[in-house]
Amino acid sequence: MGLIVKTTARAIIPLIGIFGTYIVVHGHLTPGGGFQGGATIAGAGILFLVAFGLDEMKEQYNKSLYSALEGIGGLTFLGVAMLGMGVAFFYNTLWHNGPFFNGQPGTLLSAGYLPIMNLAVGLKVFTGLVSALTTIALYRRWKS
Amino acid sequence: MNGEAILPYLIIIPLFGAFSMPMVNLLGRKSREAWAVIISGATLAVGSAMFYSVWENRGIIVYTLGAKSPLGQANFPIRIVWEVDLFGALMVFMVTLVSFLAVLYSLGYMKHDTGLDKYYTLIIILELGMLGIAITGDLFNFYVFLEIMSIASYALVAFRNDTWEGIEAGIKYMFVGSIASAFILLGIALLYGQYGTLTMSYLALKLAESPSVTAKVALALFIAGLLFKSGASPVHMWLADAHPAAPSSISAMLSGLVIKIGGIYALARILFSIYGASISVKTVGWVIIIFACITLVIGNAMAVIQNDMKRLLAYSSVGQIGYILLGLGIGLAAYGSQTGEIAMAGAIYHTFNHALMKALLFLVAGAVIHQLGTRNLNELSGIAKTMPKTTFAFLIGAAAIIGMPPLNGFASKWLIYESSAIFNPILGAIAIIGTAFCTAAYVRVLYTFFGRPSESVMKAKDPEGTMLWPIILLVVAIIVMGLFPWQISEKIMIPAVKALENQLAYVSTVLGGA
């Protein structure tokens, strides 16, 4: 891409990243959540890929790291869901008993395990989408 | 053993295994394979413990996600419930058993392929989806697990993406399967719009209280979608492409499990447990019977003319699905009578038996392909000389699927023949015609196997241990089950039917008598 696109992308990618993170972190307070925020952040990754090209992306992208992060996102979700196994699977023990994330409803540190789950889903969606699109972009060549 | 305490681990263990696979993969090939075997083995342990617990207690296990009770402040369920009766528990056992054997078999069979970390992740996800369908008591949860299972199987069918047929079959399966899933989702949306609940048992109550046209439209969509998923004629065409193109360990799971859990089990659950009291079971039963008869004849007849070994087995699967649907249809049309009970017992018994037999046959086919590199039956003549153990296993599997008396297929087919002959002699005759075709197809294969060895066959030998042991275990299971057919029918299958037909118990266990 040209100079204008690259410069604009440099300016915008951090903004998209911050906005996506905002959506993920405030998943339990405002519209949006893990998937929407994760997809937004992945949008920043795709803008990077489109603006700076595949060669630059190849240097920045690490396949094992992204798959491992995707797995960690899933494991975090599962682990948080198991915190309240004493009562039931998915029992929101952080909300009922603490020690954290049990503040006044409407504040950031409330809603029990939901913020953690949003973060986990956001991480999984971001890494998954970026991996998928990079893989497609890397796909051998146009003819066979 | 307490079934309720271990039920969530049926989901937790495969999820944990699948999510941690990318990290385990970093440790190398051996640890990834060991991890897949450990995870599916642990799931098998939990699945069999769960089955034993449900069978011993003769009760229905209800597990609520998120709290102790499914009911909220009001007296209707607001949470997702998992509900396992004996039928569901039997399916759980079947899924965990065959999946474990397929994973074990993959160690040897898939070792020349690349991208195996994805393969093992997908195979565990596939198992997870099927287990979820078998245990869930929530309609939307059912849809989610159905999609997990379907998407994992689309990816696995097209796993060998350097072959044209893998891609072709995968695309065909994906398009057809997505439309079928969309039907089911539309049905669920209609029911939710009309009745405002997604819990199966509460929905059953609501349906019985106020039947509506919407419910019937939703039922039609469910039946259409699930017949697609189970590969019934005239929508079986994806199956005949998907099963040959997939790796053989996956064909074994697709044919043995996916079409039954996603098709037959879900159909039985929706028809008996949700709609049982609110529809004319006779009409719906006859609809199923008509599709069953078409499936039975077309599937088995098409199997006779195939030259491709796995395609023959795939069409034979269609034919056997016809028997299971016939049992299910008669079980509905003769609901509450002795005949209906026997037919349904035959259907459940045949579901389980066919999972074992067809898994065995596909694993054998995989071993043959692995050795000789061809699926063409004309080039396989005389492998009995060079691959005696494999051929013996195929002989047992073929005899069992035809329904030879000392093997397990006999009893289950007998129950279906008997009940269909009592219910309507014409149906009995159609069932016999199907078996005649089926026999012709398998005799033809065996005739080839025992023929004069061709040159390409001379270099072949029996497969290695990890591929041979699952085959041996399945042969032993088929023979042992064949020795006690009526005991198994009395002790497991008839109670499973009673549990399925007892809609009141299914509803009241969740609602707690409310």
Inside any domain, residue A144: no
Kindly tell me if the per-residue pLDDT of B110 is higher than 90: no
Q: Which residue of A has its CA nearest to B82?
A: A89
The answer for A 87-126 residues in CB contact with B (under 8 A) is 87-92
Instruction: Note whether B20 contacts A71, CB cutoff 8 Å.
Output: yes
pLDDT at B19: 92
Going by C-alpha positions, the residue among B474, B488, B482, B478 that lies closest to residue B99 is B474
Contacts of A4 (CB under 8 A, 6+ apart): none
Question: Between chains, do A72 and B64 touch, taking CB under 8 Å as contact?
Answer: no
Nearest to A78 among B16, B25, B117 (CB): B16
Closest-CA distance of chain A to residue B17, Å: 9
**Is residue A33 in some structural domain?**
yes
Which one of A66, A72, A76, A89 makes the best mutation probe of the B interface by having the most chain B beta carbons within 10 Å? Answer: A89
Task: Choose from A65, A66, A77, A78 for mutation: most chain B CBs within 10 A.
Answer: A78
CB nearest B66 (choices: A64, A71, A90): A90
* pLDDT per residue as tens digits for the range B170-222: 999 999 999 999 999 999 999 999 998 899 988 998 888 888 899 999 999 99
Sorting pLDDT into bands at 50, 70 and 90, what band is B1? low
Half-sphere exposure of B219 (CA within 13 A, CB side): 27
Residue A93 lies in a domain: yes
Tell me what the pLDDT averaged over chain B comes to. 89
Instruction: Work out the pLDDT band at B514, boundaries 50, 70, 90.
Output: very low
pLDDT of residue B220: 92
Asked whether residue A124 carries a pLDDT value surpassing 60, the answer given is: yes
Domain span at residue A29 reads 3-139
- Type of residue at B438: C
Pairing of strands B81-84, B61-64: antiparallel
* Residue A22 falls inside a structural domain: yes
pLDDT of residue B475: 92
Contact state of A74 with B15 under an 8 Å Cβ cutoff: yes
Chain B nearest CA to A71, separation (Å): 5
Q: What is the mean pLDDT of residues B254-262?
A: 90
Query: How confident is the model at residue B314, as a pLDDT?
Result: 92
Distance from CA of B5 to the nearest CA of A (A): 9
Per-residue pLDDT, averaged over A109-122, amounts to 88
Residue A122 lies in a domain: yes
In the prediction, which pLDDT does B452 show? 82
> At B124, is the pLDDT very low, low, confident or very high (cuts 50, 70, 90)?
very high
**Distance between CA atoms of B2 and B6, rounded to whole angstroms?**
7
Strands (E), B153-227: none
**pLDDT on residue B29:** 84
**CB-based contact A82 B12, cutoff 8 Å:** yes
CA B189 to chain centre: 26
B20–chain A nearest CA distance, Å = 6
- For residue range B471-490, what is the model confidence (pLDDT) as tens digits? 999 999 999 998 988 888 88
Distance (Å, whole) CA B144 – CA A89: 17
**Average pLDDT for B149-177:** 90
Strand partners, B83: B62
List all residues of chain A from 59 to 88 with a beta carbon under 8 Å from chain B. Answer: 64, 67-68, 70-72, 74-75, 78, 82, 85, 87-88
ipTM surpasses 0.85: yes
Chain B residues bordering chain A (beta-carbon distance below 8 Å): 8, 11-12, 15-16, 18-23, 25-26, 63-68, 117
Question: Could you tell me which residues come within 8 angstroms of residue B30 by beta carbon, excluding any fewer than 6 positions away?
Answer: none
For residues A8-33, give the mean pLDDT.
91
Q: Estimate the crossing angle of helix B309-333 against helix B237-245, to 10 degrees.
A: 140
Q: Contact A88/B65, CB-based, under 8 Å? A: yes
Closest Cβ opposite residue B23 in set A71, A78, A85: A71
The answer, yes or no, to whether residue B388 has pLDDT greater than 70, is yes
| Predicted pLDDT of residue A144 | 65
Which has the minimum average pLDDT: A50-59, B135-144, B310-319, B378-387? Answer: B378-387
Q: Is residue A45 part of a domain?
A: yes
- Residue B439 pLDDT greater than 60, yes or no: yes
Nearest CA to CA, how far is B111 from chain A (Å)? 21
pLDDT of residue B320: 92
CA distance A136 to chain B (A): 14
Mean pLDDT estimate for chain A: 88
Measure in Å the smallest separation between the Cα of A76 and chain B Cα atoms: 10
Q: Residue A63 domain-assigned?
A: yes
* Number of structural domains in chain A: 1
For residue B378, the number of C-alpha atoms closer than 13 Å in the C-beta half-sphere is 3
Nearest to A88 among B20, B23, B64 (CB): B64
> Between B16, B22, B68, which is nearest A67 by CB?
B22
Give the pLDDT confidence score for residue B513 in this predicted structure. 47
From B22, B65, B117, residue closest to A90, measured CB to CB: B65
* pLDDT score of B42: 93
Positive or negative CA dihedral for B370, B373, B378, B381?
Answer: negative
pTM of the model: 0.92
Whether B358 contacts B408, CB under 8 Å: no
Q: Token pair for residue B132?
A: 């979820």
